């Protein structure tokens, strides 16, 4: 890491906890701030309201996404590139993966009109003045977590957020914390082509020789370019995490429904997106 990145990370870690900040040039006007407090303020903000978790599958291009303009929506990673075409921005925007965040840092730092949330370990590239609220992503590198303790699902997004081999799992934890019910997932095509057969789970560099394997896996063909890193998913672990999320929602009297088109995952009950009625206004 560059020295400036390390300083950014340390500063964000300090600012995660409640601390005093001056609210004006007046030395006697102070308040308490912190990323934890900002996240805590989101708890049950949309209790009992439906929301839409938007993954990045190519099926989104065949859906009438502008219908969601007045709905509560949660997007991630490169979805912001669709905002102009859709004529809307997602209510919340989430990024966790370090390579994904590095790839888009210059653009998402400038992103406005959405509540931006990023994993604390990405502060080294995003900084503390980019409009992001940082969340604490627990157990990122421990073998124990990925084996006997996997998966875990956080009901308290402000305190800790758990990984599930996909940012969609993080978005589900956010939707739970917001109090949303039901939660509709769209764009979760769960179709990674031949990548999982050709490469082990992990990161690979996109080259001229393999970019054809990547095209068509996301909402737009230029989602990745030559030289970018792409994650090869651990499909079975993803599915295991989704089943756990479904169990947690249902144990709390809430539901997650798959409203996407041509989705290859059967964990969540499927519903037709076009059959959803009474498009609401944000509250």
Helix (H) or strand (E) holding 177: helix 167-178
Instruction: Give the pLDDT confidence score for residue 141 in this predicted structure.
Output: 59
CATH code given to domain 3-275: 3.90.1480
Beta bridge partners of residue 132, listed in sequence order: 116
By the 8 A CB rule, do 257 and 268 touch?
yes
By the 10 Å C-beta count (0-12 exposed, 13-18 middle, 19+ buried), 197 is classed as exposed
Q: Where are the domains of the chain?
A: 3-275
By the 8 A CB rule, do 64 and 87 touch?
no
Instruction: Give the pLDDT confidence score for residue 25 in this predicted structure.
Output: 76
pTM: 0.93
Instruction: Give the pLDDT confidence score for residue 1 in this predicted structure.
Output: 56
- pLDDT tens series, the chain, 283 aa: 578 898 999 999 999 998 888 787 777 788 888 999 999 999 999 999 999 999 999 999 999 999 999 999 999 999 999 999 999 999 999 999 999 999 999 999 999 999 999 999 999 999 988 999 999 997 665 666 777 789 999 999 999 999 999 999 999 999 999 999 999 999 999 999 999 999 999 999 999 999 999 998 999 988 999 999 999 999 999 999 999 999 999 999 999 999 999 899 999 999 999 888 765 544 4
């Amino acid at each position: 890491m560059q020295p400036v990145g390390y300083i950014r990370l340390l500063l964000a870690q300090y600012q995660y906890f409640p601390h005093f900040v001056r609210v004006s040039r007046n030395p006697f006007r102070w308040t308490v701030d912190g990323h934890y407090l900002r996240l805590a303020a989101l708890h049950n903000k949309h209790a009992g309201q439906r929301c839409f978790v938007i993954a990045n599958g190519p099926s989104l291009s065949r859906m009438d996404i502008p219908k969601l303009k007045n709905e509560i929506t949660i997007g991630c990673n490169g979805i912001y590139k669709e905002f102009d075409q859709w004529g809307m921005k997602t209510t919340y925007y989430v990024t966790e993966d370090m390579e994904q965040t590095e790839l888009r840092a210059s653009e998402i730092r400038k992103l406005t009109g959405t509540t931006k949330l990023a994993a604390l370990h990405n502060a080294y590239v995003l900084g503390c003045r980019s409009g992001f609220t940082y969340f604490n992503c627990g157990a990122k590198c421990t073998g124990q977590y990925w084996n006997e303790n996997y998966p875990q699902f956080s009901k308290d997004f402000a305190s800790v957020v758990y990984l599930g081999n996909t940012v969609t799992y993080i978005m589900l934890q956010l939707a739970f914390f917001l109090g949303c019910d039901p939660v509709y997932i769209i764009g979760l095509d769960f179709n990674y082509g031949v990548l999982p057969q050709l490469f082990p789970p992990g990161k690979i560099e996109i080259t001229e020789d393999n970019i054809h394997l990547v095209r068509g896996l996301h909402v737009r063909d230029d989602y990745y370019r030559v030289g970018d890193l792409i994650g090869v998913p651990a499909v079975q672990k993803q599915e295991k995490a989704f089943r756990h999320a479904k169990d947690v929602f249902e144990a709390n009297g809430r539901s997650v429904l798959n409203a996407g088109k041509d989705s290859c995952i059967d964990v969540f009950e499927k519903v037709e997106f076009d059959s959803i009625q009474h498009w609401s206004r944000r509250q």
